[in-house]
Amino acid sequence: MAYHTTVKDFLADHLQGPHKAALTRMLDDIINACKKIAIAIDSGALEGNMGSLASENIQGEVQKVLDVMTNNIFIESNQRSGYIAAMASEEVDNVIEIPEKLKKNGKYLLLFDPLDGSSNVNVNISVGTIFSILMSPSANPILADFLQPGVSQLCAGYALYGTSTMLVFTTGNGVSGFTLDIESGEFYLTHPNMQIATDTQEFAVNMSNYRFWQEPVQRYIDECLQGEEGDRKKDFNMRWVASMVAEMHRILIRGGVFMYPIDSKLQTQGGKLRLMYEANPISYIVEQAGGLATTGTQRILEIVPTHIHQRVPVIMGSKSEVERIISYHQRKIRH
């Protein structure tokens, strides 16, 4: 099957409204950054870039060489359009300021996780880049200007570096997936109008944390594990690769539930995944694809952030399963 629609053709045909020109230029920069990151990852071992550094990021995590490389690529590549007023990265403590001469039309904010799942790079498991675009309340944004709920996002997406490099994004009118053709260097539309199956028989969760979970999540997983002999009357499969982009891409393709719920170990920090760099952009994609995204007690996209590196519990994917998990949390609250 031949694919003829490039991502540039798609944007020209489908983007509408006052942000069309800006989103087109900003996405072009993001696409170029993702192409460079794909090359850096592909040549990582050959270039000696698969190891760890002595430094830690703001999250207190040991940084990989590729964490720093991909962060720098994303920062440098996304200063070209002139539309970005400031950036924020999972790898950086404070706002990344843009030189005045490079933000002549700076009305937008870019948030990103340059290399999601980076702990997997040296075992050759798929990793990704996640990004989110917001309106900037001012020409010279400060940290507080980034603290907008997920419903304010104009665009969110991810690149997946796996058996092929893919780009998946939404601008609020459905979800589209594009695959990179290595020979031409173009992304072609291969997955139009992506939809998450309403029902599923797969879940993705780190089962080693079972004893730390709250009762509603334990109850749900217990039902899945009981299979045909249990109340659900069907068998479930478990998947877990510890890379959010890889997990959620699989769910977009064939349905399922991804969970990193709150547990007793995570209670003081609020959760495992970052609201602004992971949970919000992926939740926007999930909802646009017909799924649901929740903390268990609250729609993720409605959370008003209190900190740029805030963490939250995450439960997202196929609508019917997420609704069931939410109902278990509601019963716990009522009792």
CATH of residue 285:
3.40.190.80
Q: Are 202 and 237 in contact (CB under 8 A)?
A: yes
Q: Are 86 and 136 in contact (CB under 8 A)?
A: yes
Render each residue's pLDDT in the chain as its tens digit; 335 residues: 568 899 999 999 999 999 999 999 999 999 999 999 999 888 764 455 555 554 555 555 556 788 889 999 999 999 999 999 999 999 999 999 999 999 888 999 999 999 998 877 777 789 999 999 999 999 899 999 999 999 999 999 999 999 999 999 999 999 999 999 999 999 999 999 999 999 999 999 999 999 999 999 999 999 999 999 999 999 999 999 989 999 999 999 999 999 999 999 999 999 999 999 999 999 999 999 999 999 999 999 999 999 999 999 999 999 999 999 999 999 877 65
Q: Which of 191, 217, 239 is the last residue of a domain?
A: 191
In a shared domain, residues 119 and 239: no
In a shared domain, residues 153 and 264: no
Distance, CA of 114 to CA of 94 (rounded, Å): 15
Work out how many domains the chain is built from and give that number: 2
Q: Phi and psi at residue 232, in whole multiples of 5°? A: -80, -20
In a shared domain, residues 12 and 97: yes
In a shared domain, residues 296 and 266: yes
In a shared domain, residues 175 and 213: no
Q: Is residue 2 part of a domain?
A: no
Note if the pTM is more than 0.85.
Answer: yes
> What stretches of the chain show up as alpha helix (H) in DSSP?
7-14, 20-42, 44-47, 65-77, 215-226, 244-254, 280-288, 319-334
Beta strands at 314-317 and 257-260: parallel, antiparallel or unpaired: antiparallel
Q: Is residue 197 part of a domain?
A: no
Give the range of the structural domain holding residue 67, as residue numbers without chain letter: 7-191
Q: Is residue 310 part of a domain?
A: yes
Q: Are 27 and 169 in contact (CB under 8 A)?
A: yes
Q: Work out the end-to-end distance of the chain between its first and last CA atoms, rounded to an integer number of angstroms.
A: 55
